[in-house]
């Protein structure tokens, strides 16, 4: 592991423990070259996941990119960072346990939508507006109306 301060690869682990959400290992490190201390979080990756875009392009799945997109959807909303991390971990677990090494971006988008719908309805609509490429205000109205009808159906059953 490279030191973020001097770039040296001569670092040592001083302490390891499970991170708060049990999805990572938190390691305290010290650089033996410059003496700087820093923390790393290491996650077990079951398999490489490749996201297949609508245009057919492929790219490696990036947990940080997923986290950023959810953070944008819930910006200035009462959703804390830990909740976002839990959502991301849940989505990643579903992808990794799905058995496929390639995942269509549409499947990833639907997983995010499901997760946001349970956590923050405004973030859900914000994400949907980008994911479903809303063109004008009537698209928002139709989506919200459809969502409300689906929730009524769930409440009745």
- pLDDT score, position 97: 84
Segment 46-97, tens digit of pLDDT: 678 999 999 999 999 999 999 999 999 999 999 999 999 999 999 998 998 8
Model confidence at 13: pLDDT above 80: yes
| Long-range contacts, 74-80 (Cβ 8 Å, 24+) | 74/116, 74/119, 74/120, 74/122, 74/123, 74/126, 77/120, 77/122, 77/123, 78/120, 79/119, 79/120, 79/123
Mean pLDDT of the chain, nearest integer: 90
User: Domain map of the chain by residue range?
Assistant: 11-42, 50-133
Cα separation, 48 vs 72, whole angstroms: 25
In the chain, the percentage of residues whose pLDDT exceeds 90 is 70
- Among 42-51, 118-127, 140-149, the minimum mean pLDDT is found in 42-51
Closest CA to 121 of 139, 147, 89: 147
pTM over 0.85: no
């Amino acid at each position: 592991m490279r030191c973020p301060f001097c770039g040296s690869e001569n670092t040592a682990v001083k302490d390891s423990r499970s991170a708060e959400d049990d999805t990572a290992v938190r390691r305290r490190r010290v650089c033996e070259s410059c003496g700087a201390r820093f923390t790393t979080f290491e996650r077990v990756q079951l398999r490489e996941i490749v996201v297949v875009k609508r245009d057919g392009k492929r790219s490696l799945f990036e947990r940080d990119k997923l986290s950023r997109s959810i953070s944008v959807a819930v910006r200035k909303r009462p959703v804390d960072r830990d909740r976002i991390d839990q959502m991301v971990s849940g989505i990643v677990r579903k992808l990794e346990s799905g058995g496929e090494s390639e995942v269509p971006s549409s499947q990833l988008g639907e997983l995010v939508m499901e997760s946001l719908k349970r956590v923050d309805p405004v973030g859900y609509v914000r994400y949907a507006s980008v994911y479903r490429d809303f063109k004008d205000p009537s698209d928002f109205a139709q989506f919200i109306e459809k969502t409300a009808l689906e929730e009524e159906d769930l409440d009745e059953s």
